[in-house]
Amino acid sequence: MLGLKANQQTAKQASFSLVESYARRQHFRRMANTLLAEKDDILADLGYERQSIMVALNLPLRTDAVKYLEQHHRV
C-alpha cells in the first residue's frame, strides 16, 4: 500500500510539472508573438534576433524557452 501512495504522488508531481511547463510556454508564446510583431531594427535594439525567437518557440515543451533567449541575447 505504501508503494501505491508513492506512485500516486510521483504521478501528481509529473502531471503538475507538465501543466506548469505548458503554462510557462503559453506565457512565452504571448510574449514572443508581441516581439515578433516588431520590426527587425527594434528587435536588434532590444538585443534579440527574429531567428532566435523562432527557434525558442519551437523548442520542446520541457525546455525553458526564456533561458534559451537569455543565453542568445546580444548585449
Give the side-chain half-sphere CA count within 13 A for 9.
6
Segment 22-45 shows an average pLDDT of 94
Segment 32-48 shows an average pLDDT of 95
pLDDT exceeding 90 applies to what percent of the chain? 61
- Per-residue pLDDT for 36 more than 90? yes
Rounded to the nearest 10°, the torsion over CA 34, 73, 44, 25 is -10
Which residue bears the cell 533561458?
A: 67
- Per-residue pLDDT for 1 more than 90? no
Q: Are 49 and 74 in contact (CB under 8 A)?
A: yes
